[in-house]
Amino acid sequence: MPRMIKSAPGLAPEAQADVRDTVQIMLARIRDGGDAVALDYAKRLDGWEGSPRVTEAQIDAAEAAVPAELKEALTYAHDNIRAFALAQRASLTEFETELRPGLTAGQRVIPLAAAGAYVPGGLYAHIASALMTIATAKAAGVKHVTACAPPRNGAIDPATLYAMRLAGADTILALGGVQAVAAMAYGLFDTPEADILCGPGNAFVAEAKRQLYGPVGIDMIAGPTDVAIIADRSADPERVALDLIGQAEHGATSPCWLITDDAGLAHKVLDAIPHTLALLPEPNQSAARAAWDAMGEVILCENREEMAQVADTYAPEHLHVQAADLPWWQGRLTAYGSLFLGEETTVAFGDKASGPNHVLPTSRAARHTGGLSVHKFVKVVTYQKVDEEALPDLARATALISHAEGMTGHALTAEARVPQPPFPRVVNG
């Protein structure tokens, strides 16, 4: 049985009802009042005055302020993200097949018309998120992407703005929070209504997406980011500690788990945590320490199969394997947002530049879904066509099933297609 060497005390429950009610009121007011109400929220919550639409001149000025070396890094990351997304798109194929003589069915892959991409900005400037959401939507074939980011110190962070342009955003709005999500969903400020909303954000952004879901699609309900590291005796404890703390800097709500079958490694990692935390500047250090103290766990297992079982139960957003026999782990593990294989493949590579998307399922949602991909920005729809040759058998089966269900109208529509007496009825029950 797995044994806890360090358990997570957790945090005090958040006031979820307050968030839900606040968001519901804001969405209703913005839906009814449109641009004017959204601007009022932007003024009060973001300190933003004037139109939120970012002009080409403003983007040009931001681009000029971004160092050339950072532009090169962003181009490198963008090219990887776009190439991976295009490969995903190529894996989605359209087809048509004749199921029986005269009965044809097929599949089409249709890009969505408009997407809304939220790029968060709080303690950190989430520049890479702009690339992950916008570039993936454009690779899927989305015609119009509206991107929103909250202004920081009176403007969107210049590097974030540059990344939005690089990724292909069609319209950029300097809006944050619920008002940004609502603006994209409702088509405010002369933008098309979004067919899907994507991108991470705080609790208010996540709740706004949840409440809007239905008429509007969403990528997922994102909770706090998390990481799990599987490590055996071959792992470097100093590096494991660094990889845990590197993700913990997201903040106090971010779980970070070590799963190991080696007690010596576990204690060495615990011993390394304090001086690893000391490597971070403030406020990063305080954020990481809060996460490790409240949400950090170290789980000791008997063997690698038990380690895999624990990992599948936790279903982490990021799962990093620093253990021998990587092919075994790749074939065995089944529940994760994204898998990072080998000690050199740090999670930060996936967060920023390696290619696969970093918008990933949290809060154990990896049990049933993967992360953001081109699949979220296309509709896989079906069609069917019936010729005379298939009519007798198809109509008969349909009528019999319909009568058995008590759905006479359905049966009659089938029977009307064949020039013969009605089919016998099968009474259900």
pLDDT at 16 over 70: no
Q: Which of 6-10, 322-326, 389-393, 417-421 has the lowest mean pLDDT?
A: 417-421
Question: What are the residue boundaries of the structural domains of the chain, listed by start?
Answer: 16-219+375-379, 224-369, 390-429
Average pLDDT, the chain: 94
Architecture of domain 224-369: 3-Layer(aba) Sandwich (3.40)
The CATH class given to the 16-219+375-379 domain equals alpha beta
Q: Identical fold at 16-219+375-379 and 224-369? A: yes
Judged against a pLDDT cut of 70, whether residue 316 lies above it is answered with yes
Residue 334's pLDDT band, with cuts at 50, 70 and 90, is: very high
The residues assigned a catalytic role are: 317-318
pLDDT at 120: 92
pLDDT at 153: 81
pLDDT at 13: 65
Q: What is the mean pLDDT of residues 168-189?
A: 97
Tell whether the model's pLDDT for residue 426 goes beyond 80: no
Tens digit of pLDDT for each residue in 128-156?
Answer: 999 999 999 999 999 999 999 999 888 89
Give the range among 11-15, 160-164, 359-363 with minimum mean pLDDT: 11-15
pLDDT of 394 > 90? The answer is yes
* Residue 12 pLDDT > 90: no
pLDDT per position as a tens digit, 84-136: 999 999 999 999 999 999 999 999 999 999 999 999 987 778 999 999 999 99
> What pLDDT is attached to residue 207?
95
Which of 23, 11, 376, 45 lies closest to 224, judged by CA?
11
- Dump pLDDT digits (tens) for 339-373: 999 999 999 999 999 999 999 999 999 999 999 99
pLDDT higher than threshold 80 for residue 429: no
pLDDT confidence tier of residue 421, bands split at 50, 70 and 90: low
Q: What percent of the chain has pLDDT over 70?
A: 97
SS (H, E, C) the chain: CCEEEECCCCCCCCCHHHHHHHHHHHHHHHHHHCHHHHHHHHHHHHCCCCCCECCHHHHHHHHHHCCHHHHHHHHHHHHHHHHHHHHHHHHCCCEEEEEECCEEEEEEEEECCEEEEECCECCCECHHHHHHHHHHHHHHCCCEEEEEECCECCECCHHHHHHHHHHCCCEEEECCHHHHHHHHHHCCCCCCCCCEEECCCCHHHHHHHHHHECCEEECCCCCCCCEEEEECCCCCHHHHHHHHHHHHCCCCCCCEEEEECCHHHHHHHHHHHHHHHCCCCCCHHHHHHHHHHHHEEEEECCCHHHHHHHHHHHCCCEEEEECCCHHHHHHHCCCCCEEEECCCCCHHHHHHCCCCCCCCCCCCHHHCCCCCCHHHHEEEEEEEEECHHHHHHHHHHHHHHHHHHCCHHHHHHHHCCCCCCCCCCCCCC
The stretch 284-310 carries a mean pLDDT of 97
The pLDDT assigned to 125 comes to 83
Give me the residue label for tokens 């109509």: 395
ω into 283 cis (within 30 of 0): yes
Structure tokens belonging to residue 86: 């295009």
